[in-house]
Structures are given as structure tokens and as C-alpha cells.
Amino acid sequence: MDVTIDKIGEYEGQSVRIKGWLYNKRSSGKIFFLQIRDGSGIIQAVGVKSQLSPECFEKMQKVVQESSVIVSGRVKKDERSPGGYELSVENFDIIHLSEPYPISPKEHGVDFLMEHRHLWLRSSRQHAIMKIRNTVIRACEDFLRQEGFLRMDTPILTPAACEGTTTLFETDYFDKKAYLSQSGQLYNEANCMAFGKVYSFGPTFRAEKSKTRRHLMEFWMLEPEIAFATIDDLMELEENMIVYMVSRLLELNKADLKSIGRDISKLEAIKAPFPRLCYNDAIKLLRSKGNELPWGEDFGADEESILSLNFDKPVFVHRYPAKCKAFYMKPDSEDPNLSLSVDMLAPEGYGEITGGGQRIEDYEELLKRIEEHKLPKDAYEWYLDLRRYGSVPHSGFGIGIERTITWVCGIEHLRETIPYPRMLTRLYP
RNA sequence: UCCAGCGUAGCUCAAUGGCAGAGCAUCCGGCUGUUAACCGGACGGUUAUAAGUUCGAGUCUUAUCGCUGGAGCCA
């Protein structure tokens, strides 16, 4: 019977067959210990010379790391085995004898591993991170569905539009130019006027020459947008989504988190409510920590780090100065120099993972902003339409999936959180 | 783009300006409970590239390329 390793405990005492790859091999003369992985887990298969045909035993001597194999054997509980269970080999076949495998169980450098990303993904640490990525995405989508949101995907090829073109990747679109999307936000606004609560989820592209542990040229963003929602509604939604997502992780991926060395207690502390700090108070906090950022400046890596290290939960920073946020952010009625924008900073120094706010719903006000920012009005006619036909207050945010995964995994660099990271100097593999 | 560091065997790293070395991987041999197994042996080098200083350069100088870390950029 063919089984997968994650379900092996259900077959104790039975003979089963596993199709997979050789993860590692140890031998002791007339006994072989084969670590077999099949994508669902790793199990130790034990082959004893006296219990096997000579052909079978010969294959075990010959097999090398990452060869594809089919192993048949009896499932046994054994504490000496790394997974708690092991397979007493009855038959062993090599599907493909691997060439010498470049990634050994020993340590490797970052550059070498990135160059072999397609093979690196076979390692157990990468398995854990990819499974966590899966839960993060699925939990956020599940949460939004439960809240009545409709997923509506937005285009990746777009006309110039959003902001300036300096940070956009340009491509030919027959006899025109097209740009890779850097946000689904404007389309989400149209969609939420059609369906009330919507979100988009997909890759976004930024042609910024950023070379840090927190930037990718291509990253995945989940962007909810809600009609009739205020900035306060938005913060509550974000908070609930993060709490739900973390609870799902603790339920489904505790072993994965532990295997990459994550301090679980840090995640267990993620409970609502999250602190809410207005920009002015954030500046005061920074001053008290010796940071002298002038009022009106957006936070850099330093400031975000100081703020997020100050709390053991994510923290909202809201009402940033209008001039450091996008043109469509609604000004605060109590102080028009401030915008109804809000970022969520992840704790432990990880910094910004979401950004969003309440949008301008008034036609004249939006038009004024478009002109102030010297944006081409023609390109925004459809966007202005949303303020001509039944405009309502509305809010939305975007959450950067890779940054979020970096935080929940507690890892150094976001390059491990996506299967094939696109970075400033790396487009291969 | 700027600042700093690094570039030596397939990988991870040593080598005072004076013979180019180890561990792992691979191959051969040994071992019936290994846990990154272990033990013995073999294979493995245009020291990133180019020029310079020197009796002599992996080591010092200059340039170029590449990588890493950070800054900046960044709804």
C-alpha cells in the first residue's frame, strides 16, 4: 500500500510503500539507515543485510543523497528513530541514481544556497517555512471569507497611472507601454463600490533599487478594501486578521515553527487589542529613546525598529503627516496636515507589515490632490468616477506576505519566505 | 547609488610576504542501531580577473567583476 510519511503512524505494524528521495544515509556495515523524504515528511528506513536479498542490499550501498527511490517495509515504532517511527525495509528500488548532490548536510553560504534555490527547497528548514507561508496565506483568506469578503483579483499589467513611473517595471504592450502593478488598491476601491467588501491577492512589483533584508522586487500582497469603513474599522479588522492568522499557525504549524527555532511564546502573546499610537505620540516615544527624527518625516528602518521593539505585540501607527503618504489618503478633519493613514509594525524589531488608511471620498478634494501631485488626470478618470457615482467613506490596507512570514518565523531575511525571491541582483533560478 | 567586509578544492574554511592545507561531499575499503555516524585510504587547485611592488605574492598596491552586511530609495 502506498502511503505518505506524515500519515505513517496510522500504519504501525503494516507493510507499506513510500515513494520519495534519499535525504541522508548512514551505514554500519551490514545495516543501513536511510532517511527518506517524500515531501510530507522524513522517515528513517532501516535495511539489514541478513533480511534482504543481495540485490536489494547492493542498491542500498550504491544509493546516494537525493536519488529518487521506492521503499517497501514494515512500520515500527522506535524511539531511536528521528521521527518516532521507522521502516524495516523489505524491498528497495532506485528510480534514478542522483549525480553527486551539491547541497550537503553541512553548512553553506547564502550565495551558494540562493544559486541552488531550486534544490535548497528540498531541505527541512525550507519545508517548514513554506508550510508556514501556506498557513499564513490560507488563514488570512479564510478570515476574510468568514467576514464576508469577496476575492477579486486585480490586473498585473496596468497603464501608467498609480504614482510616478520611476519605481515601475516597464514592458511593451503591443504599440503601447504597460507597467507591472505595484498595488491593486485603485481597482480594489472600484471593486468595493461594487461588492462592499473585497480583497485582492497577488504579486506586486517594485523597481526600487532596494538592497535590504526587508525588500523584494516581486512580493505578494493581500489587499482588503471596505466600503463604509473608517480608519478605526480598518484597525479592528487588521488586528482580528492577524490574531486569527497567528492562532491558526499555533494550531497547525507548531512543529514547523519549533524546527526553525522560533520562540513560540512570542507568538502566543499576539492577542487583541494591539496598541494604537498616533504619529505625534510615536515621535514623542522616539524622542524619549534618543531618536531625533524631525516632525513630518516618514519613519526609516531605524525608527520602525525602535517602535516595534517597544511592544510585544504588533503596534498601529496612525495619522502620519499627509505629505509623507499617498495622494488618495483622506486628511484628518481635526488637523488637515495629518492623514487618516495607518501602518502596522510587527514586534521584535520587524517593522512595517501593513499599510493603508481611509481614502478621500470627495470628488473635488481628490481632483485637487491629483493636480497637486501632477498626475495625469485623464488616466484617473475612471478612479474619479468612483467619487461621481455614489461615493462613500471607505478604507483599505495591504499586507506584505513575505514580511509577515519573516516576522512569524522569526528569521533574519525575507529571501527564505518565498520560493523564488526576486532581488536586486538575483533573477536566477 | 553610497559605506564596510569578503572572494583559496564541488561546499565550509585555514595558511607570519617564503613547500597550497583541513573537514564535509564524491570514489574505494571496514563496521549489525546510526542521529550532520564513525575509522582507514584515494581523488580534488589558473588562490575571482587584469596589471603592479618584491629575490619571492593567496597574503601588499591599483582597477574591474561578483557576493555579503548596512544605508539610502521605498503608499
pLDDT in tens, chain A (429 residues): 999 999 999 999 999 999 999 999 998 888 999 999 999 999 999 999 999 998 899 899 989 999 999 999 999 998 777 678 999 999 999 999 998 899 987 789 899 999 999 999 999 999 999 999 999 999 999 999 999 999 999 999 998 755 555 688 989 999 988 999 999 999 999 999 999 999 999 999 999 888 999 999 999 999 999 999 999 999 999 999 999 999 999 999 999 999 999 999 999 999 999 999 999 999 999 999 888 888 888 898 889 988 999 999 999 999 999 988 889 999 999 999 999 999 999 999 899 999 999 999 999 999 999 998 888 888 899 999 999 999 999 999 999 999 999 999 999 999 999 999 999 989 988
- Give CATH superfamily name and number for A118-417: Bira Bifunctional Protein; Domain 2 (3.30.930.10)
Distance in angstroms, CA of A428 to C1' of B52?
36
CB count in 10 Å sphere of residue A269: 13
Q: Which residue minimizes Cα–C1' distance to B25?
A: A104
Q: Is the CB of A104 under 7 A from strand B?
A: yes
A58 CB less than 7 Å from any atom of strand B? no
Q: Is the CB of A277 under 7 A from strand B?
A: no
Q: Among chain A residues 9 through 48, which have CB within 7 angstroms of nucleic chain B? A: 24, 26-31, 33, 44, 46, 48
Query: Is A50 (CB) below 7 Å from strand B?
Result: yes
Q: Which of A273, A301, A303 is nearest to A286 (CA)?
A: A303
**Cβ of A326 near strand B (distance < 7 A):** yes
C-alpha cell at A43: 522517515
Integer Cα distance of A192 and A109 in angstroms: 46
**Whether A107 CB is under 7 Å from strand B:** yes
Q: Where in chain A is the domain with CATH 3.30.930.10?
A: 118-417
Res A79: pLDDT: 79
Please state whether strand B lies within 7 Å of residue A49 at its CB atom. yes
Set of cell numbers at residue A190: 472600484
- Strand B contacted by A186 CB (< 7 A): yes
- Can you name the residues that pair with A88 across neighbouring β-strands? A46, A74
Residue A83: the pLDDT is 72
3-state secondary structure chain A: CECCHHHHHHHCCCEEEEEEEEEEEEECCCEEEEEEECCCCEEEEEEEHHHCCHHHHHHHHHCCCCCEEEEEEEEEECCCCCCCEEEEEEEEEEEECCCCCCCCCCCCCHHHHHHCHHHHCCCHHHHHHHHHHHHHHHHHHHHHHHCCCEECCCCCEECCCCCCCCCCCEEEECCEEEEECCCCHHHHHHHHHHHCEEEEEEEEECCCCCCCCCCCCEEEEEEEEEECCCHHHHHHHHHHHHHHHHHHHHHHCHHHHHHCCCCHHHHHCCCCCCCEEEHHHHHHHHHHCCCCCCCCCCCCHHHHHHHHHCCCCCEEEECCEHHHCCCCECEECCEEEEECEEEEEECCCCEEEEEEEEECCCHHHHHHHHHHCCCCHHHHHHHHHCCCCCCCCEEEEEEEHHHHHHHHHCCCCHHHHCCCCCECCECCC
Residue A167's pLDDT is what?
83
In angstroms, the CA A260 to CA A125 distance is: 6
A77 CB-to-strand B distance under 7 Å = no
What are φ and ψ of residue A344, in 5° steps?
-110, 125
Residues of chain A with CATH 2.40.50.140: 5-96
* Reported ipTM: 0.91
C-alpha cell at A22: 534519499
Give dist(CA A221, CA A223) in Å, integer.
6
User: For strand B, which residues in window 400-419 of chain A come within 7 Å by CB?
Assistant: 412-413
A425 touches strand B (CB under 7 A): yes
Superfamily (CATH) of domain A5-96: Nucleic acid-binding proteins (2.40.50.140)
A308 touches strand B (CB under 7 A): no
Q: Within 10 A of A44 (CB to CB), how many other CB atoms are there?
A: 20
Tell me which nucleotides of strand B come within 7 A of a protein CB: 1-2, 10-13, 23-27, 30-38, 66-75
Cell 522524513, residue? A42
